[in-house]
Amino acid sequence: MRWPEGFVCRRCFQRATRHHGTCPACHTERLLPGLRDGDPVCAPCAGIDYDFTCTRCGAEDEHRRDHQCARCVLRDDLTTLLDDGTGQPRTELVPLIDALCSQDRPRNAFIWLRNPDVTRILRALADGTTALSHASLDAEPVRATANHLDALLTQLHILPERDTTIATFERWLATRLPAYPPEHTQLLERFATWHHLRRMRQRANTGTLKPGAANSAKQEITVAAQFLAHLADHGATLPEATQGHIDTWLAPGPSTRYVARNFAHWAIRNHHMPDLDFPRRLAKTAPVLTQDERLTLLARDLHDTTRSTTVRLAAVLLLLYAQPIARITQLTTGDVDLEADPPTITFGDDPAILPGPVAALAREHLADRPNTHTTTGKNSPWIFVGYRPARPLDPNYLMGKLRGAGIDLRGARNAALRQLVLDMPPAIAADTLGYAYTTTERHARDAGTIWAAYPPER
């Protein structure tokens, strides 16, 4: 492409032909591919002799094919890909076409469709080779692609709603349990079904199921299998277990072996194991940052504009309000009120005040949240929008980012919570921060203060 200044490279051409706004020369809202005195202007005002109008929809944009814009070309490609054999796209998948073509950056869909697994699965769903169901997508070996498609089709109401935490755990069980000896598999399956899945479904029905529940259940089942293997190595089955077996299991091993405690208690209640003592692990130390360390990290995350607002805001919520990462990722835009005087954020029953610098960081992040230019991200309710449709940012991903930024997560949370219970009565801290009263009382004792004289009414 030749500009008035001469030829431009492909990258500069793409940047220029994707910039829309009000032309400062003619005051019209249109594509601004040119420059005049350093300001972006429309093609006629810049002297660019090229018509960027799409021959189909009439929009001004970069031509992707046959003088048509990316949005129109994408609709043609998707219509062909999702053909049900009649020359038309499968009726149930039309909302998918509309959603992909209406996103802020339709070019992103072309990048997504380069994935051969995406096109293969979509083609099979369109022509009926694969049933349009959660079960069919669960059977796909390419988990990341299938999970993304499942979440996308669910958010578009093409597939019915379901709890993804439970679905993920059930898929894990189906692949993991057959690897154990048959006699162990039966016990572990009962434990998974009647202890973990039953609780997950109850909490899902009340809206209190947390994403981390599946990870905890996986760990408990994995460690329970190791305990059963320990018994087998000593020539015993679960009904033949003795206190000595438990003690020799716990004494030399890592602290994660105590995770088998829930399995042991379940087995005792259901008469699969004698009534033995499986002790609870007692933490010997609790990591706590010094106040200087905490304030240094807090100042850095408030003012270091070279780092992403996602990491900075999450770090501030951890360091200032002692919020666990799993809870931070569940925050929605409705939990923040930046129009209040003063601005507030809600973690528990009572809103917490956002100091000026924190409110400014929250405004900056909410004004341009990452992952909101995709099909389902633009209307996402989450403060920290995830990469998967309709999901917040994965807690483990955010934990990794914060650890990479040099933050000891447990030490930071303990330090913040201890300072907060020094500044206010533990009961108020619990209501404001979303903690149990016993937790804030314990931290108040560890911090060396009590509020016994605080009046019951506030």
In the predicted structure, residue 439 carries a pLDDT above the cut 90 = no
* Helix H or strand E segment including 7: strand 6-7
Q: Please report, rounded to a whole number, the percentage of residues in the chain having pLDDT higher than 70.
A: 95
> Which residues make Cβ contacts (< 8 Å) with residue 340, sequence separation at least 6?
351
19-70 tens-digit pLDDT: 889 999 899 999 998 888 888 999 999 888 888 899 999 988 888 888 999 9
pTM of the predicted model, to two decimals? 0.68
Among the listed residues 291, 263, 292, 290, the one whose alpha carbon sits nearest the alpha carbon of residue 276: 263
370-425 tens-digit pLDDT: 888 776 666 789 999 988 777 889 898 999 999 999 999 999 999 999 888 888 88
In the predicted structure, residue 456 carries a pLDDT above the cut 50 = no
Give the side-chain half-sphere CA count within 13 A for 210.
Answer: 14
CATH fold, domain 291-447, is hpI Integrase; Chain A (1.10.443)
Q: How confident is the model at residue 164 (pLDDT cuts 50, 70, 90)?
A: confident
Residue 406 CB-density burial (10 A; 0-12 exposed, 13-18 middle, 19+ buried): exposed
Mean of the pLDDT values across residues 250-258? 89
Among the listed residues 258, 286, 280, 279, the one whose alpha carbon sits nearest the alpha carbon of residue 442: 286
In the predicted structure, residue 181 carries a pLDDT above the cut 60 = yes
213-232 tens-digit pLDDT: 899 999 999 999 999 999 99
In the predicted structure, residue 455 carries a pLDDT above the cut 50 = no
Q: What does the pLDDT read at residue 427?
A: 87
Classify 41 as helix, strand or coil. Answer: strand
In the predicted structure, residue 458 carries a pLDDT above the cut 60 = no
CB 378 within 8 A of CB 104: yes
Mean of the pLDDT values across residues 80-87? 94
Q: What does the pLDDT read at residue 5?
A: 65
User: In the chain, which segments carry CATH 1.10.443?
Assistant: 291-447
Q: How far is CA 406 from CA 285, 364, 399, 403, 409, in A?
A: 20, 23, 11, 5, 9
CB 250 within 8 A of CB 258: yes
Please report, to the nearest 10 degrees, the dihedral formed by the alpha carbons of residues 32, 33, 35, 40 taken in order: 30
Q: What does the pLDDT read at residue 198?
A: 95
Q: What does the pLDDT read at residue 457?
A: 40
Q: What does the pLDDT read at residue 193?
A: 96
Cα(394)–Cα(214) distance, integer angstroms: 13
As given in the structure block, the two tokens for residue 247 are 């003690």
70-81 tens-digit pLDDT: 999 999 999 999
Classify 182 as helix, strand or coil. Answer: helix
